[in-house]
Amino acid sequence: MLTRRGVVGGALAGSLLGSPLAAALQTDRRRPGFDIASPGDAITPIFVDAADLPGVRRAAADLAADIGRVTGTDARIVHDPRALPDRVILVGALGTSPLIDHLVAAGKVAVHDIRGKWEAFLIQTVANPMPGVKEALVIVGSDKRGTIYGVYDVSRMIGVSPWYWWADVPVVRQSRLRIANGRYVQDSPAVKYRGIFLNDEAPCLSGWTAKTFGGMNAAFYGRLFELLLRLRANYLWPAMWNNAFAVDDPANAPLAEDYGIVMGTSHHEPMMKAHKEWTDHRQHYGNGEWNYATNAPAIRDFFREGIDRNAHNEVIVTVGMRGDGDVALESSGSLQSDVTLLEGVITDQRRIIAEGMGRPAEQVPQVWVLFTEVYKYYDAGLELPDDVTIMFADDNVGNLRRLPLPSERGRSGGFGIYFHMDMHGGPFSYQWINSNPLPKIWEQMNLAHRYGANEIWIANVGDLKPLELPIEFFLAMAWRPSDVGKDKIAGWTHAWAERQFGPEHAAEIAMLAARYAKYNAWRKPEQLKPDSYSLENYREAERVCDAWRELERRADAVNETLRSDQRDAFYQLVLYPVRACSNLTQMYVAAARNARFAEQGRASTSAEADEVRRRFHRDHDLRDYYNHTMAGGKWDHMMDQTHIGYFDWYPPGTDIMPPVAEIDLDPANGFGVAVDGSARSWPGYYLPPELPILDSLTREKTFIEVFPRGAGPAPVTVTADQPWVVIEEGKAFGVSTRDRRFWVDIDWNAVKTGRSEATITVEGHQTVTVRLTALRASAQQEREARGASGGLTGAFSLAAARFDRSVAARGVRCEPIPDYGQGDAAMSVFPVDAEPFTDTANAPRLEYDVFLGESGPYHIDLVTAPTLEVYPGRHLAVAVGFDDAAPVAQAVFTPTTRAAQDFLGEQHAANTAANARTMRFTLPVDAPGRHVLKVFMQDPTIVVQKIIVHKSALARSYFGPPAWASGGRAGS
């Protein structure tokens, strides 16, 4: 095993974002500091009071073990304050550790800036803290979890990843561990309760826990609690699919209390009772109906049990009621009667809470979750006690549905967010792999933070794995949002990669981890179909495959250079998702080629069918490696989730290979020709083949493909009738080596200004002629177009972030969110809580220099994020205009589109599947030539990804035309 020489720091620089110890990392070995370990010396022991809180004692023990993981020797734990060594780590919480309290009282440690705070801590080196002790590293927390977080911050600093066990991240051996002398303070986290929800936990988490722990018992939850604390979380909704946390293992709830984890139950399980407890025993409760209108006394008994058994635990009690299981409440007659019923339910629940907990209800944290249909009760005016936290659920796909209005923000219970990184249900399920790019999480959760929903953040994380990265990011944001501003996401990801794999490959690994999730968010793997990406237009499917292939190549290259002890972690965190998603995308595209090639009569149809089969089986091989080989089979079942062949929101029982077609080949058949921009082939179609028009401003090239249609060879020659046509053979898209591509380009110096026509002739045992048109700009057009986007003809895209000018207004400006969405970045309005601009023309705007080949009406499609209207009553608009013409404003949501965007609505499902919503404007253009396209961002919370400019109907594609600028080729 390699060990890293030297002191802590340097190598880990930048990897401790969110930790006050980041400041301790400038240390070099000549600078004085506190040695936790030092070559030749005994490992510094840890003192923790034997009477301190169990969670604190346990964390101290973890630190001792972590030091052992790094140095090879565990630190000794000392409980006797009278037998302290001369160098010691002192761990304790204010008020529960007499020694710490004594140090504070003695003025050795100043705690004014953490005392009384929620989960704050202080780490300080202290010389001569007490007689007989020369130096101490004091880790003191304002409370239990503050102390624990402090302890784990030291673990993290010495190189123990929170994921050391949960993702097999190897610990790098070091013999010297030194902290620069100093005082390191961590204030309270931004969000009070930060947690995850284990959900949709079969077949993966269930299968894995059954095999590994014998169930979701304390052995499992202990591992989980430790992870949560190392990730600075404090809150958990436990697994509830046929699981009941409190009764499956009676040790579970006390264990949570010991660790310091605040337990809750999910959005639809009130009063600390799992729904399974109801379904298993409903016959013992009155008439057995989960209906407060008909069975209230029995349901109250049920509620009471949940509260009574948690009387001494730190919990957040879910209040309210949904239907029987995770479904909507059965109506009692009218919306108003339902509201009245629910108000009664909550009143009763609070009485039970107060009785069971032995203190006023307002002293017990409670949450009411507005999920799906529950919004309507709130909107209808349900009166909720001020101390109950109102939790807004997203749309199941990571788009917030609501934020607190200023008028609401005063409530003592505050607001929370229930966010999804995994879904089993509508609008579609995504349970397999990580498809949550961090910029999207940031964009929405930043709104939550800025609009004051900071009481609770909880993320539905499915089986937990393989969502390691977005889980940590979500919790990091909740901890200290300033560490992960939109421009720091890449840096944070880099630091994350460095924590797991060291600095050498951190940049590449961060790129890989960010990019596979980004690609997955173009279209979630479960939502992929053979025709998701266009085969015929813009080489779209080909470009997408190229992107994945390149990502896979780079991931493989990293894997080759990693130490062998890093490969299990790399496989689960990066390599598996990259390979599997690349393979999956290429499998679907091969299925598309199979279908298209069958239509075109290509002999290679069957080769594409074989390719689909090969990739289908490779998917299983990759999964099997994860389950059975990686880490010695430690994670068996964790990748059991089916993900191919969705035909319902419900996951298929078994993966279903995309169906493949066969054709009969007549050996006498000759060849066929397909052309860029068309799905058809020739001979065999009544319209003549015609290539997309080539344009001297956009300088795109085009191609034809020639392929055998029979079993035999089909030699052809490809020639053009004009000298300015440049034909060059390339590689056809697909697995066949017999299919041929011929690139068609123009020698623009050789062609006259204006329109020129040419014919390309494919000659073999038959002849196919393909028409080609070239448009060469005049000298004046070229001058006008210089530096502008667009061309003489055709549709083009503008990457929203590639603006030419950004004009701020009243301190409000359009800024890019790097790496958001389809392109390099997307544009939104900052600050996000700015007041809207009702005066359109004065709104902050983006300007794009464009060259338009024609006059007449143009369509401007703004491709925005599919975010929702989070601010009731606010008009949400954007406007577009050319030059100095009055801009045309359009509200994202009209009463009609609002309905269409509604939760689970078909249009919203389509938008979220594409992670994009398109707004179309149609504007007159009175003359061809150079223009300025202006986008006026009237309201914050809109995110613009790209702008598509076109005159006629767009060719079918997923992304629209590529972005190209005058004089240059489009990137892939």
**Mask of contacts with a second copy, 615-634, x by CB under 8 A?**
-xx--x--------------
User: CA torsion sign, 140 to 143 to 148 to 154?
Assistant: negative
Per CB under 8 A, does 661 bind a second copy?
Answer: yes
Burial of 642: CB neighbours in 10 Å, binned 0-12, 13-18, 19+: middle
Of the candidate residues 219, 311, 507, 657, the single one contacting a second copy (CB under 8 A): 657
Per CB under 8 A, does 736 bind a second copy?
Answer: no
Instruction: Compute the distance between CA of residue 544 and CA of residue 694 in angstroms, rounded to an integer.
Output: 23
- Retrieve residue 580's tokens: 């599997």
Could you identify the residue written with the tokens 């972030």? Answer: 801
Per CB under 8 A, does 462 bind a second copy?
Answer: no
Residue closer to a second copy (CB basis): 642 or 773:
642
Please give the residues from 692 up to 721 whose contact with a second copy meets the rule CB under 8 A: 709
Per CB under 8 A, does 595 bind a second copy?
Answer: yes
Per CB under 8 A, does 904 bind a second copy?
Answer: no
Burial of 23: CB neighbours in 10 Å, binned 0-12, 13-18, 19+: middle
State in angstroms the smallest separation of the CB of 626 from a second copy: 16
Span of 120-128, 227-235, 346-354, 680-688 interacting with a second copy by CB under 8 A: 680-688
Asked if 744 and 771 count as a contact pair (C-beta separation under 8 A), the reply is no
Residue closer to a second copy (CB basis): 234 or 594:
594
State in angstroms the smallest separation of the CB of 594 from a second copy: 7
Instruction: Compute the distance between CA of residue 464 and CA of residue 201 in angstroms, rounded to an integer.
Output: 9
Burial letters for 204-230: b for 16+ Cβ neighbours within 10 Å, e otherwise? bbbbbbeebbeebbbebbbebbbbbbb
- Retrieve residue 812's tokens: 């409000």
User: CA torsion sign, 625 to 627 to 632 to 635?
Assistant: positive
- Retrieve residue 792's tokens: 């003489």
Q: Amino acid identity of 883?
A: D
Please give the residues from 320 up to 349 whose contact with a second copy meets the rule CB under 8 A: none
Per CB under 8 A, does 599 bind a second copy?
Answer: yes
Task: Report how many residues bind a second copy under the rule CB under 8 A.
Answer: 37
Of the candidate residues 215, 286, 652, 928, the single one contacting a second copy (CB under 8 A): 652
Asked if 816 and 868 count as a contact pair (C-beta separation under 8 A), the reply is no
Burial letters for 722-752: b for 16+ Cβ neighbours within 10 Å, e otherwise? bebbeeeeeebbbbbebbbbbebbbebeebe
Per CB under 8 A, does 648 bind a second copy?
Answer: yes
Of the candidate residues 470, 503, 601, 836, the single one contacting a second copy (CB under 8 A): 601
Q: Which helix (H) or strand (E) holds 420?
A: strand 415-420
Per CB under 8 A, does 688 bind a second copy?
Answer: no
Per CB under 8 A, does 565 bind a second copy?
Answer: no
Per CB under 8 A, does 667 bind a second copy?
Answer: no
Per CB under 8 A, does 613 bind a second copy?
Answer: yes
Residue closer to a second copy (CB basis): 102 or 613:
613
Instruction: Compute the distance between CA of residue 213 and CA of residue 635 in angstroms, rounded to an integer.
Output: 12
Q: What is the CA radius of gyration of the chain?
A: 31
Span of 135-143, 212-220, 646-654, 773-781 interacting with a second copy by CB under 8 A: 646-654
Three-state secondary structure readout of 819-832: CCCCCCEEEEEECC
Closest CA to 962 of 951, 953, 949: 949
Residue closer to a second copy (CB basis): 560 or 664:
664
Q: Calculate the alpha carbon distances from 340 to 291, 331, 540 in Å.
A: 14, 11, 54
Asked if 172 and 2 count as a contact pair (C-beta separation under 8 A), the reply is yes
Residue closer to a second copy (CB basis): 660 or 925:
660
Per CB under 8 A, does 594 bind a second copy?
Answer: yes
Per CB under 8 A, does 210 bind a second copy?
Answer: no
Per CB under 8 A, does 663 bind a second copy?
Answer: yes
**Mask of contacts with a second copy, 38-77, x by CB under 8 A?**
----------------------------------------
Residue closer to a second copy (CB basis): 250 or 684:
684
Asked if 848 and 803 count as a contact pair (C-beta separation under 8 A), the reply is yes
Per CB under 8 A, does 664 bind a second copy?
Answer: yes
Q: Cβ–Cβ contacts within 10 Å for residue 556, how many?
A: 12
Instruction: Compute the distance between CA of residue 225 and CA of residue 435 in angstroms, rounded to an integer.
Output: 25
DSSP 457: E
Closest CA to 431 of 397, 454, 405, 406: 397
Per CB under 8 A, does 680 bind a second copy?
Answer: yes
Residue closer to a second copy (CB basis): 560 or 648:
648
Of the candidate residues 566, 681, 864, 957, the single one contacting a second copy (CB under 8 A): 681
Residue closer to a second copy (CB basis): 502 or 651:
651
Span of 475-483, 543-551, 640-648, 868-876 interacting with a second copy by CB under 8 A: 640-648
φ and ψ of 36, to 5 deg: -75, -40
Span of 464-472, 538-546, 677-685, 699-707 interacting with a second copy by CB under 8 A: 677-685
Per CB under 8 A, does 656 bind a second copy?
Answer: yes
Of the candidate residues 116, 659, 730, 968, the single one contacting a second copy (CB under 8 A): 659
State in angstroms the smallest separation of the CB of 932 from a second copy: 36
Span of 447-455, 476-484, 609-617, 900-908 interacting with a second copy by CB under 8 A: 609-617
State in angstroms the smallest separation of the CB of 591 from a second copy: 8
Span of 495-503, 581-589, 654-662, 732-740 interacting with a second copy by CB under 8 A: 654-662
Of the candidate residues 187, 289, 655, 804, the single one contacting a second copy (CB under 8 A): 655
State in angstroms the smallest separation of the CB of 376 from a second copy: 24
Asked if 220 and 252 count as a contact pair (C-beta separation under 8 A), the reply is no
Instruction: Compute the distance between CA of residue 913 and CA of residue 834 in angstroms, rounded to an integer.
Output: 29
Closest CA to 419 of 256, 241, 204, 191: 191
Of the candidate residues 39, 684, 856, 924, the single one contacting a second copy (CB under 8 A): 684
Residue closer to a second copy (CB basis): 596 or 934:
596
Please report which residue ranges of 271-416 form alpha helices under DSSP H.
275-281, 296-308, 335-357, 375-379
Per CB under 8 A, does 653 bind a second copy?
Answer: yes
State in angstroms the smallest separation of the CB of 284 from a second copy: 22
Of the candidate residues 665, 832, 904, 970, the single one contacting a second copy (CB under 8 A): 665
Closest CA to 543 of 963, 911, 944: 963
Span of 228-236, 296-304, 665-673, 840-848 interacting with a second copy by CB under 8 A: 665-673
Could you identify the residue written with the tokens 């300033």? Answer: 482
Per CB under 8 A, does 654 bind a second copy?
Answer: yes
Q: Cβ–Cβ contacts within 10 Å for residue 324, how many?
A: 15
Q: Amino acid identity of 944?
A: V
State in angstroms the smallest separation of the CB of 672 from a second copy: 8
Residue closer to a second copy (CB basis): 110 or 656:
656
Asked if 218 and 486 count as a contact pair (C-beta separation under 8 A), the reply is no
State in angstroms the smallest separation of the CB of 900 from a second copy: 21
- Give the E-state strand segments of 684-782 in sequence order: 694-695, 702-708, 717-720, 725-731, 740-746, 754-763, 767-776
Per CB under 8 A, does 1 bind a second copy?
Answer: no
Instruction: Compute the distance between CA of residue 524 and CA of residue 909 in angstroms, rounded to an integer.
Output: 12
Of the candidate residues 598, 691, 704, 827, the single one contacting a second copy (CB under 8 A): 598
**CB-facing half-sphere around the CA of 911: CA atoms within 13 A:** 26
Per CB under 8 A, does 207 bind a second copy?
Answer: no
Of the candidate residues 54, 182, 645, 905, the single one contacting a second copy (CB under 8 A): 645
Please give the residue ranges that form the binding site for a second copy (CB under 8 A).
594-595, 598-601, 613, 616-617, 620, 645, 647-648, 650, 652-666, 672, 680-681, 683-686, 709
